[in-house]
Amino acid sequence: MTEFTVKLAGVPIAVKARFDDVRQLCRDYLTTQPPAFTVCPTPEEVALEQVKSDREAEVEGLPKRRYPEGYLETIAVYRKIAAALLDYDVFLMHGSAVCADGQAYLFTAPSGTGKTTHTRLWLREIPGAFVINGDKPLIRVGEGGCEIFGTPWSGKEGMNTNASAPLKAVCVLERGQTNVIEKQSFSAVLPVVIQQSYRPRDEAAMSKTLSLIRRLGEQVRFYRLRCNMDPEAALVAREGMKD
Protein backbone atom coordinates (compact mmCIF):
# COMPACT_ATOMS: atom_id res chain seq x y z
CA MET A 1 0.00 0.00 0.00
CA THR A 2 1.28 3.47 -0.91
CA GLU A 3 -0.16 6.66 0.53
CA PHE A 4 0.43 10.26 -0.59
CA THR A 5 -1.35 13.57 -1.11
CA VAL A 6 -1.80 15.16 -4.51
CA LYS A 7 -3.10 18.67 -5.25
CA LEU A 8 -5.50 18.94 -8.17
CA ALA A 9 -7.59 22.00 -9.11
CA GLY A 10 -6.37 23.60 -5.90
CA VAL A 11 -7.71 20.76 -3.71
CA PRO A 12 -5.34 18.52 -1.69
CA ILE A 13 -6.42 14.89 -2.02
CA ALA A 14 -5.08 11.87 -0.13
CA VAL A 15 -4.61 8.75 -2.24
CA LYS A 16 -4.26 5.21 -0.95
CA ALA A 17 -3.24 2.71 -3.59
CA ARG A 18 -1.93 -0.87 -3.80
CA PHE A 19 0.56 -0.09 -6.56
CA ASP A 20 3.15 2.65 -6.93
CA ASP A 21 2.02 3.54 -10.48
CA VAL A 22 -0.32 6.25 -9.21
CA ARG A 23 2.36 7.96 -7.12
CA GLN A 24 4.81 7.91 -10.00
CA LEU A 25 2.19 9.37 -12.32
CA CYS A 26 1.39 12.15 -9.84
CA ARG A 27 4.97 12.98 -8.84
CA ASP A 28 4.78 16.58 -10.14
CA TYR A 29 1.51 17.22 -8.29
CA LEU A 30 2.43 16.00 -4.78
CA THR A 31 1.80 18.25 -1.79
CA THR A 32 2.28 18.22 1.97
CA GLN A 33 -0.95 20.12 2.64
CA PRO A 34 -3.64 18.44 4.75
CA PRO A 35 -6.04 16.58 2.42
CA ALA A 36 -9.66 17.62 1.94
CA PHE A 37 -10.70 14.01 1.31
CA THR A 38 -9.27 10.54 0.61
CA VAL A 39 -9.71 8.17 -2.31
CA CYS A 40 -8.90 4.46 -2.13
CA PRO A 41 -10.17 2.29 -4.98
CA THR A 42 -11.11 -1.28 -4.14
CA PRO A 43 -9.72 -4.26 -6.08
CA GLU A 44 -13.21 -4.68 -7.56
CA GLU A 45 -13.22 -1.08 -8.82
CA VAL A 46 -9.79 -1.59 -10.37
CA ALA A 47 -10.91 -4.80 -12.10
CA LEU A 48 -13.99 -2.98 -13.41
CA GLU A 49 -11.72 -0.63 -15.39
CA GLN A 50 -10.60 -3.60 -17.51
CA VAL A 51 -14.24 -4.53 -18.10
CA LYS A 52 -15.01 -0.98 -19.21
CA SER A 53 -12.02 -1.00 -21.53
CA ASP A 54 -13.21 -4.25 -23.11
CA ARG A 55 -16.70 -2.82 -23.64
CA GLU A 56 -15.31 0.31 -25.29
CA ALA A 57 -13.16 -1.81 -27.59
CA GLU A 58 -16.22 -3.83 -28.63
CA VAL A 59 -18.23 -0.68 -29.38
CA GLU A 60 -15.39 0.81 -31.42
CA GLY A 61 -14.59 -2.46 -33.19
CA LEU A 62 -11.04 -2.54 -31.82
CA PRO A 63 -9.03 -5.44 -30.37
CA LYS A 64 -9.28 -5.86 -26.62
CA ARG A 65 -6.12 -5.08 -24.66
CA ARG A 66 -5.12 -6.44 -21.26
CA TYR A 67 -3.69 -3.81 -18.94
CA PRO A 68 -1.54 -4.22 -15.80
CA GLU A 69 -3.38 -3.75 -12.51
CA GLY A 70 -1.16 -0.80 -11.63
CA TYR A 71 -2.25 1.07 -14.75
CA LEU A 72 -5.91 0.20 -14.19
CA GLU A 73 -5.61 1.52 -10.64
CA THR A 74 -4.47 4.92 -11.94
CA ILE A 75 -7.71 5.16 -13.92
CA ALA A 76 -9.83 4.05 -10.97
CA VAL A 77 -8.16 6.67 -8.76
CA TYR A 78 -8.89 9.48 -11.20
CA ARG A 79 -12.49 8.34 -11.62
CA LYS A 80 -13.02 8.58 -7.86
CA ILE A 81 -11.23 11.95 -7.71
CA ALA A 82 -13.35 13.36 -10.54
CA ALA A 83 -16.55 12.30 -8.78
CA ALA A 84 -15.47 13.77 -5.43
CA LEU A 85 -14.31 17.09 -6.93
CA LEU A 86 -17.86 17.85 -8.08
CA ASP A 87 -18.48 19.01 -4.49
CA TYR A 88 -15.80 21.65 -5.09
CA ASP A 89 -17.41 22.92 -8.32
CA VAL A 90 -14.80 21.10 -10.41
CA PHE A 91 -15.50 18.72 -13.28
CA LEU A 92 -13.47 16.74 -15.78
CA MET A 93 -13.71 17.42 -19.49
CA HIS A 94 -11.95 15.50 -22.23
CA GLY A 95 -9.91 17.85 -24.41
CA SER A 96 -6.59 19.58 -24.96
CA ALA A 97 -6.05 22.81 -23.02
CA VAL A 98 -3.50 25.29 -24.35
CA CYS A 99 -2.45 28.52 -22.65
CA ALA A 100 -1.37 31.63 -24.57
CA ASP A 101 -0.89 35.12 -23.12
CA GLY A 102 -2.21 34.03 -19.75
CA GLN A 103 -5.52 32.63 -21.04
CA ALA A 104 -6.54 29.06 -21.78
CA TYR A 105 -8.34 27.58 -24.76
CA LEU A 106 -9.84 24.09 -24.60
CA PHE A 107 -10.08 22.07 -27.81
CA THR A 108 -12.51 19.18 -27.54
CA ALA A 109 -13.55 16.48 -30.00
CA PRO A 110 -13.88 12.69 -30.19
CA SER A 111 -10.63 10.76 -30.08
CA GLY A 112 -8.80 10.64 -33.38
CA THR A 113 -10.01 14.03 -34.62
CA GLY A 114 -6.60 15.67 -34.31
CA LYS A 115 -6.53 17.49 -30.97
CA THR A 116 -2.92 16.56 -30.28
CA THR A 117 -1.76 17.58 -33.75
CA HIS A 118 -3.58 20.92 -33.46
CA THR A 119 -2.10 21.47 -30.01
CA ARG A 120 1.39 20.94 -31.37
CA LEU A 121 0.70 23.54 -34.06
CA TRP A 122 -0.09 26.06 -31.32
CA LEU A 123 3.18 25.25 -29.56
CA ARG A 124 5.07 25.77 -32.80
CA GLU A 125 3.23 28.79 -34.19
CA ILE A 126 2.11 30.79 -31.12
CA PRO A 127 5.01 32.35 -29.16
CA GLY A 128 4.90 31.43 -25.47
CA ALA A 129 2.06 28.92 -25.81
CA PHE A 130 2.20 25.83 -23.59
CA VAL A 131 0.01 22.83 -22.84
CA ILE A 132 -1.88 22.75 -19.55
CA ASN A 133 -3.24 19.28 -20.26
CA GLY A 134 -3.51 17.33 -23.48
CA ASP A 135 -6.37 14.98 -22.62
CA LYS A 136 -8.19 15.19 -19.27
CA PRO A 137 -7.96 18.64 -17.64
CA LEU A 138 -10.12 19.78 -14.73
CA ILE A 139 -12.35 22.87 -14.90
CA ARG A 140 -13.31 24.82 -11.80
CA VAL A 141 -16.45 26.90 -12.24
CA GLY A 142 -16.44 30.02 -10.08
CA GLU A 143 -18.75 32.98 -9.70
CA GLY A 144 -16.49 35.29 -11.69
CA GLY A 145 -15.17 32.91 -14.31
CA CYS A 146 -13.80 29.45 -15.00
CA GLU A 147 -10.27 28.17 -14.46
CA ILE A 148 -8.69 25.13 -16.09
CA PHE A 149 -6.05 22.98 -14.39
CA GLY A 150 -3.41 20.56 -15.49
CA THR A 151 -3.49 16.97 -14.22
CA PRO A 152 -1.08 14.05 -14.63
CA TRP A 153 -3.79 12.14 -16.52
CA SER A 154 -2.96 13.47 -19.96
CA GLY A 155 -3.19 10.68 -22.51
CA LYS A 156 -0.49 8.60 -24.12
CA GLU A 157 1.50 11.70 -25.13
CA GLY A 158 1.79 12.80 -21.47
CA MET A 159 1.39 16.49 -22.33
CA ASN A 160 0.65 18.30 -19.07
CA THR A 161 1.87 21.09 -16.80
CA ASN A 162 1.13 21.59 -13.11
CA ALA A 163 -0.42 24.97 -13.86
CA SER A 164 -3.76 26.69 -14.33
CA ALA A 165 -5.19 29.61 -16.29
CA PRO A 166 -8.50 31.38 -16.79
CA LEU A 167 -10.54 29.50 -19.38
CA LYS A 168 -11.48 31.92 -22.15
CA ALA A 169 -13.02 29.64 -24.75
CA VAL A 170 -14.02 26.07 -25.61
CA CYS A 171 -13.57 25.08 -29.24
CA VAL A 172 -15.13 22.03 -30.89
CA LEU A 173 -12.60 20.68 -33.36
CA GLU A 174 -13.58 19.15 -36.69
CA ARG A 175 -11.56 18.10 -39.70
CA GLY A 176 -11.90 20.20 -42.82
CA GLN A 177 -10.19 21.02 -46.10
CA THR A 178 -9.76 24.68 -45.16
CA ASN A 179 -9.38 26.48 -41.84
CA VAL A 180 -12.56 28.21 -40.67
CA ILE A 181 -13.57 29.20 -37.15
CA GLU A 182 -17.06 30.33 -36.16
CA LYS A 183 -18.53 31.46 -32.88
CA GLN A 184 -21.24 29.12 -31.59
CA SER A 185 -24.14 29.41 -29.20
CA PHE A 186 -23.89 27.29 -26.08
CA SER A 187 -26.96 25.31 -27.13
CA ALA A 188 -25.31 24.43 -30.46
CA VAL A 189 -22.30 22.78 -28.81
CA LEU A 190 -24.00 21.51 -25.64
CA PRO A 191 -24.36 17.89 -26.87
CA VAL A 192 -20.61 17.74 -27.60
CA VAL A 193 -19.72 19.34 -24.26
CA ILE A 194 -21.84 16.81 -22.37
CA GLN A 195 -20.46 13.90 -24.40
CA GLN A 196 -16.88 14.98 -23.71
CA SER A 197 -17.41 15.55 -19.98
CA TYR A 198 -17.03 12.86 -17.34
CA ARG A 199 -20.53 11.58 -16.63
CA PRO A 200 -20.84 9.75 -13.30
CA ARG A 201 -23.46 7.02 -12.93
CA ASP A 202 -24.79 8.44 -9.66
CA GLU A 203 -27.90 10.52 -10.39
CA ALA A 204 -27.05 13.31 -7.92
CA ALA A 205 -23.48 13.54 -9.21
CA MET A 206 -24.71 13.68 -12.81
CA SER A 207 -27.13 16.45 -11.89
CA LYS A 208 -24.24 18.38 -10.34
CA THR A 209 -22.17 17.85 -13.50
CA LEU A 210 -24.93 19.22 -15.70
CA SER A 211 -25.29 22.22 -13.39
CA LEU A 212 -21.57 22.98 -13.69
CA ILE A 213 -21.73 22.61 -17.48
CA ARG A 214 -24.65 25.04 -17.58
CA ARG A 215 -22.66 27.55 -15.51
CA LEU A 216 -19.69 27.03 -17.81
CA GLY A 217 -21.95 27.99 -20.70
CA GLU A 218 -22.74 31.29 -19.03
CA GLN A 219 -19.12 32.31 -18.55
CA VAL A 220 -16.99 31.25 -21.53
CA ARG A 221 -17.24 31.57 -25.30
CA PHE A 222 -17.75 28.65 -27.65
CA TYR A 223 -16.43 28.09 -31.15
CA ARG A 224 -16.33 25.47 -33.87
CA LEU A 225 -13.09 25.09 -35.81
CA ARG A 226 -12.97 23.18 -39.08
CA CYS A 227 -9.32 22.74 -39.85
CA ASN A 228 -6.61 20.86 -41.68
CA MET A 229 -3.17 20.14 -40.29
CA ASP A 230 -1.40 23.11 -41.86
CA PRO A 231 0.34 25.59 -39.52
CA GLU A 232 -2.24 28.18 -40.57
CA ALA A 233 -4.85 26.28 -38.55
CA ALA A 234 -3.34 27.44 -35.25
CA LEU A 235 -3.17 31.06 -36.42
CA VAL A 236 -6.78 31.03 -37.63
CA ALA A 237 -7.94 29.56 -34.31
CA ARG A 238 -5.91 32.05 -32.28
CA GLU A 239 -7.14 35.09 -34.20
CA GLY A 240 -10.74 33.88 -34.14
CA MET A 241 -10.86 33.41 -30.35
CA LYS A 242 -8.60 36.06 -28.87
CA ASP A 243 -11.02 39.04 -28.98
Model pLDDT, residue 61: 86
What are the residues whose beta carbons fall under 8 Å from the beta carbon of 127, sequence distance 6 or more?
Answer: none
Same domain for 39 and 131: no
pLDDT tens-digit readout, 15-44: 999 999 999 999 999 999 999 999 999 999
CATH of the domain at 155: 3.90.228.20
Model pLDDT, residue 113: 72
Count the neighbouring beta carbons within 10 Å of the beta carbon of residue 80.
19
pLDDT at 112 over 80: no
Q: Strand 138-141 to strand 90-92: parallel, antiparallel, or no bridges (unpaired)?
A: antiparallel
Last residue of a domain, one of 87, 108, 131: 87
The residue range of the domain holding 40 is: 2-87
Same domain for 79 and 96: no
Instruction: Give the chain's domain count.
Output: 2
Same domain for 23 and 109: no
Share of the chain above pLDDT 70, in %: 100
Last residue of a domain, one of 69, 87, 105: 87
- The model carries a pTM of 0.95
**DSSP secondary structure letters along 58-123:** HHHT-------HHHHHHHHHHHHHHHHHGGGTEEEB-SEEEEETTEEEEEE-STTSSHHHHHHHHH
pLDDT tens-digit readout, 191-237: 999 999 999 989 999 999 999 999 999 999 999 999 888 899 999 99
Model pLDDT, residue 109: 84
pLDDT at 243 over 80: no
Same domain for 133 and 25: no
What are the residues whose beta carbons fall under 8 Å from the beta carbon of 171, sequence distance 6 or more?
Answer: 105, 106, 107, 108, 181, 222, 223, 224, 225, 237, 241
Same domain for 146 and 26: no
Question: Residue 110 — pLDDT band, cuts 50, 70, 90?
Answer: confident
Same domain for 116 and 65: no
Question: Residue 62 — pLDDT band, cuts 50, 70, 90?
Answer: confident
Q: Please, what is the average pLDDT of the chain?
A: 94
Same domain for 132 and 185: yes
Model pLDDT, residue 155: 86
Same domain for 164 and 119: yes
Model pLDDT, residue 220: 96
pLDDT at 171 over 90: yes
pLDDT at 240 over 90: yes
pLDDT tens-digit readout, 81-100: 999 999 999 999 999 999 99
Model pLDDT, residue 32: 97
Model pLDDT, residue 123: 95
Share of the chain above pLDDT 90, in %: 85
Same domain for 96 and 73: no
Same domain for 188 and 220: yes
Model pLDDT, residue 114: 78
Last residue of a domain, one of 28, 54, 87: 87
pLDDT at 71 over 90: yes
Same domain for 208 and 127: yes
Same domain for 230 and 200: yes
Model pLDDT, residue 30: 98
Model pLDDT, residue 122: 94
